[in-house]
Structure formats: C-alpha cells, structure tokens
Amino acid sequence: MDFINGLLQFKWLYKLVELLVENVFNISMTTRLGSSIHFFIYDTIKIVILLGIMIFLISYIRSYFPPERTKKILSKFDGIKGNIMASLMGIVTPFCSCSSVPIFIGFVEAGVPLGLTFSFLITSPIVNEAAFAILLASFGWKLAFLYVITGVIVGVVGGIIIGKLKLENEVEEYVYQMQVGESEVEKLNRKERINFALENVKEIVGRIWIYLLIGIGIGAVIHGWAPAPVLAKYAGPDNPLAVFVAVILGIPLYSNALGTIPIAEALINKGVGIGTAMAFMMATTALSLPEMILLRKVIKPKLIAYFVAITGVAIILVGYLFNAVAHLLI
Amino acid sequence: MVIKVLGSGCSNCKKLEKNTKEAVKELGLDAKVEKVEDIKDIMGFGVMKTPALVVDEKVVLKGRVAKTDEIVTILKNS
C-alpha cells in the first residue's frame, strides 16, 4: 500500500526531475530558472501519465453505458431521486458537446422530465475524465473526488430548480413532434471496449495537449517569477470578487481550457484561492459558449438563460464554499 | 449498397467517414457513402450519440469511431 501511495504521489518523479535539473542541466533548484524548469518537466510528465490512465479507465466503464441505456433507466425515475440518478448517469455516460442535442431530444422523447435532463446536462460536462485527471495531477485525490461530488450536487440542484420552474414550453416545439427510431444497443466485446477507450485517450489528448503545454509553460513562469503577495491580494480567498470574475471568464472558454489548470496550480501555490480555481474549471466545462449555441437548436433563449444563470450561481457558491474550507483540503 | 455516415460535423464524424471510404475502396465495393448531418434524420435512426454508420438503412455502428479494418468486417457481413 505504501508503495502504491508513493507511486501515486509521484515523489519518485519529483526526485527524478530534480536530479535531471540539478545534475544534467546544472541549474540549482533554488534559482527561479531551476524551479520553473522543474515545474514544467515534472508537471508535463505527471499530467500525461494520469490523463492516459484516467481517460482509459473511465472510457472503458463508459462503454457499458451508451445513452440509449441511460435514457431507458432515467425514464423510470422522477423527483429528487431522479435528479440524483440523472447526475450520476451524467458521469458514466459518454458525452461530448456535439452529442448534447441528440441526447436532449432522445431524453425528451423517452419522457424523461426536463429537470432530470438538465441534471444530466449540467453534471456530464463538469465531471469529465480530463478534468478529473488534471485535478488529480495538480491537487491530489481529496480535491479530485470533492470536485466530482460537487459536480453532482450542482447538477442535482440546478435540475431540481429548472424542473420546478415548469419550463416545458421553452423547448422548441419540433422536439416534441420528433419521431425517434429504434435501434439496438450494440454489444461490444472486450477488444472493442479497449479500442473505444484507447481511441478516447488519443482523441482527448490530441485535442488538449497543446493547451496543456501552454498552460504548464505559463504555470512554470508563474511558479518561478510571480510575486505571491500581489496575487494573494487580488485573487486570494479573501477577495470576494475573485470567484465571480473567474466564473465570468470561464464561460466563453471551451473545455480545451482545461489546459489552464496547471496555471491554477501555480497560482494557488502563490496564494490564489482554491475555490476560485475550481469555480473557473467548472465554468469552462459546464457553461461553454459552443454548447449553448448547439442547445439553442432545441431550447428557446429563455431556458438557456435560466440554465446559465442557475448553473452559474451554483458554481459561484461552490467557489466560495471551497475557499472557505480550503485550509482543510490541502 | 448505400452507406450513410451520421454526424453533425464534429471531428469524430469526419474520421469515421474517412475510414468508411477507405474500407469501401479496400473491398472494391460499388457503394455510395453519404453524409447525413440533419439532426432529424439522425434521430430517425434512433441514434443518440454520433458518429454512426448505417448500411442499407440499418444502423451497424454508433457512438464511436471504428478503424478501417473493423468497418471492412462490418461491410463484409452486411
């Protein structure tokens, strides 16, 4: 157990890169350049390892939960239990913003209540394998799991409120008239599941690696050079506006902005609030502009506005909460 | 044989289209590969996660990109 823990904490890698920087590059770790280079190499290797493993594992599990099955399961639920179920299914059902429209239509057609559909749509992008892996790499297990749990809570609460508001007439009419065909759920063998998981690893890493490297690069510079007191003053846990600004900034960014997490890691070490960083992450994934444009095809602007407002407020609250309890987490 | 690639134009859908065309070429089939992008048509096949592959109006693959050799096997069997 100690061995596995040690392996997961990446102390071995930390030491290894330290040896590389000090003995091969001949730069002392106490210099700014040395600590920046160390941050860059160490973070890159750690995140790539964790990304690969996590995406593979989660994708493998997800191959058992095609949306058709999720739809059938959810159409049997109602009430708060249904919202919780929908959020949990949001974690295990494979999701990308390009399939949010067919999933929405499929759910509505199967009679899944609107509130449950939104619980699913809110949690699904927040709790994604890449975010989980990068959080794990940057902040460790406790925070990564807490992120998942809060992602579920945000989805449940958002879905319950949207359900209570009775906004069914804010869905485009054609959605209710749509004829959805029946198609069988494909039976996959193990080789096909492994293939599916590997393809996902390739696809996600291929999509975000460049943002990640830029993020780690900027993080490395901050790590070596940024003046901690200044940052703590403007974006620290004591500045009430920081979380709010982080969420607003996160909305126009797409999930590729996950690459910015290493920036957050470096910033937090310099005194920026952890809740601020978490809120930023949730906002980039749950409230992306491209997804809203896609959803506009099936829901009217008013419901989109409710969706953004409710989810946004929930995320801001999460940010404050995490800032308030930060000292218990790290 | 009419082969349809269902997808709203995301990168995965293009990948599946490319692999499908390669598979058709490999088998030397006299088949037309069409791209279906309209959401109503996609839903009409009961597909909730794109990309998907339809051979002669029957869904043979959905929710993932298959490699060329897997598509070759699928096409041989249908």
Q: What is the pLDDT of residues A79-117, one digit of tens each?
A: 899 999 999 998 888 776 667 788 888 888 888 999 999
A119 pLDDT higher than 80: yes
> What would the mean pLDDT of A157-180 be, rounded to a whole number?
88
Confidence of residue A285 (pLDDT cuts 50, 70, 90): confident
pLDDT at A4: 56
Q: Cβ separation of A297 and B49 shorter than 8 Å?
A: no
pLDDT for residue A83:
95
CA distances from A230 to A236, A250, A279 (A): 9, 22, 21
ipTM confidence score: 0.71
The two tokens of residue A229 are 């007191």
Size of interface A-B (CB pairs under 8 A): 74
Residue A186 has pLDDT above 90, yes or no: no
pLDDT digits (tens, 9 = 90+) for A9-46: 678 888 888 888 888 888 888 888 888 888 889 888 88
pLDDT at A56 over 60: yes
Is the Cβ pair B50, A103 closer than 8 Å?
Answer: no
Domain ranges of chain A: 27-329
DSSP string covering A103-149? HHHHHHHTT--HHHHHHHHHHHHHS-HHHHHHHHHHH-HHHHHHHHH
Q: Which residues of B are catalytic?
A: 10, 13
H/E/C letters for each residue in A168-233?
Answer: HHHECHHHHHCCCCCCCCCCCCHHHHHHHHHHHHHHHHHHHHHHHHHHHHHHHHHHHHCCHHHHHH
- Cis upstream peptide for A102 (omega within 30°): no
Residue contact B63–A195, C-beta within 8 A: no
The alpha carbon of residue B36 is apart from the nearest alpha carbon of chain A, in Å, by 14
Instruction: Write out pLDDT tens, residues B5-23.
Output: 988 777 778 888 999 999 9
pLDDT in tens, A229-276: 666 666 666 677 878 877 877 776 665 556 667 777 777 777 777 888
Q: Which domains does chain B have, with CATH numbers?
A: 2-77 (3.40.30.10)
Q: Tell me if B46 and A297 make a contact (CB, 8 A cut-off).
A: no
User: Strands of B52-55's sheet, edge to edge?
Assistant: B32-36, B2-6, B52-55, B58-62
User: What beta strand segments (E) does chain B contain?
Assistant: 2-6, 32-36, 52-55, 58-62
Percent of residues, chain A, with pLDDT higher than 70: 87
- Determine the distance in angstroms separating the CA of B34 from the nearest CA of chain A, rounded to an integer: 19
pLDDT at B78 over 70: yes
**Residue A253: per-residue pLDDT:** 66
Name the minimum distance, in Å, from the CA of A68 to any CA of chain B: 7
